[in-house]
Amino acid sequence: MKFFCTFLLIFLTLLGCHRPAELQGDPIDFTQVKDLRITLVFNEQKKEDRMNRLRNPIVIDEEAEEPYKYYSYLSLRGTNEFTLLIGNHYTYGKYELVSPTELILKSEQYGDFRMEIVEATDRLIQVKGNFNDYPCDYMVRLDDKDVFYLNMVNDLDRLTEANDYRAVSFNEWRNKPQRPETKEEIRARIIAHLEYMCAYMRVHVYGDFEWIHFAGIYSPFVLSEDGVILLDWLSVPHFWKNIFYDDKDADKAYYMIKYAMDATVSPPYRGEHWLIYDEACLQNLKKTLESWE
């Protein structure tokens, strides 16, 4: 019995000392971070169901299997401004820091989101909050009081102004118009979308990335080592079509791109990184569109 108690004491001591290496260090809070990548979204029901079935909590470093974890983010910017993207629903506004562990995101589109840090390490944060009016495909709502949790990791770099694809100025093409647009307005929306794509590609070419996840860019193109290819109309993602007022305007935009590509000369390939070459192709396409009267 004495031997068993001694063994149990040693075992519990070792168990209490064990902690994964990535979770070591002093916890961070909202005053120490500016850009957080959102790696997992789950609700209160999923949290409770996991505990009831498996007795295994959803831990702070757990990530989603869906590709949104590669490109979703919360960016806390200067003058208390924020931008937020989960999946493909973008919003922005002002934020109020209630305390180092609690803030309120104030969005004109979707109202206020209050989020509070549940747990934090030196690079990971898990928050909970109410996102009732935020139309995210990854937030399945059961009632108006549903609470959602976000796992976030502090591994995003600050971007230069020319490449800051998380800024509002690079995302205005996402704002769906409230009326049919003129040909000039449709062209401007296409050009803004091309500028966003080019900035996204530049960041991944010149940054310390081993991959680029194109699920974050819904567009009518295929980007590959062979250059930029326009998809056929039926294969174009619905998300891209939905940034226009209706299918008629989306159809106009598609054929405007098609005619511009036919009139655009591809740049010579000089053996550079294929993303650099594809960006050059998109830049040439953009110049063609800008030159049209």
176 with 120, same domain?
no
Q: Phi first, then psi: what are they for 133, rounded to 5°?
A: -100, 5
pLDDT of 14 above 60? no
165 with 266, same domain?
yes
142 found inside a domain: yes
Q: Got the DSSP string for 30-55?
A: TTS-SEEEEEEEEEHHHHHHHHHHHS
246 with 272, same domain?
yes
Q: How far, in Å, CA of 229 to CA of 141, rounded?
A: 38
Residue finishing a domain among 153, 181, 214: 153
Q: What is the mean pLDDT of the segment spanning 256-269?
A: 95
How many structural domains does the chain have?
A: 2
Structure-token pair, residue 62: 């757990």
186 with 247, same domain?
yes
Spell out a b/e string for 38-48, using b for 16 or more CB atoms within 10 Å of the CB, else e.
bbbbbbeeebe
Helix ranges (H only) for 174-222 are 183-206
Q: What is the mean pLDDT of the segment spanning 134-152?
A: 74
Q: Name the residue range of residue 258's domain.
A: 161-291
Q: Got the DSSP string for 253-269?
A: HHHHHHHHHHTPPPPPP
140 found inside a domain: yes
Q: How far, in Å, CA of 117 to CA of 148, rounded?
A: 12
42 with 149, same domain?
yes
100 found inside a domain: yes
Residue finishing a domain among 95, 124, 153: 153
142 with 168, same domain?
no
191 with 249, same domain?
yes
147 with 177, same domain?
no
125 with 235, same domain?
no
pLDDT of 13 above 50? no
Helix ranges (H only) for the chain are 2-17, 44-54, 183-206, 238-241, 247-262, 274-291
75 with 26, same domain?
yes
63 with 149, same domain?
yes
Q: What is the mean pLDDT of the segment spanning 84-112?
A: 93
pLDDT of 211 above 80? no
Q: What is the pLDDT of residues 58-89, one digit of tens each?
A: 899 999 998 889 889 999 998 899 999 988 88
Residues 6+ apart with CB under 8 A from 147: 43, 44, 128, 129, 130
Q: Phi first, then psi: what are they for 225, rounded to 5°?
A: -65, -15
271 with 238, same domain?
yes
Q: When comparing pLDDT for 184 and 79, which is higher? A: 184
Q: How far, in Å, CA of 91 to CA of 72, rounded?
A: 12
CA angle in degrees (0–180, nearest 5) for 37-42-47:
130
Q: What is the CATH number of the domain that holds 55?
A: 2.40.128
Q: How far, in Å, CA of 250 to CA of 181, rounded?
A: 10
- pLDDT for residue 2: 40
193 found inside a domain: yes
pLDDT of 197 above 80? yes
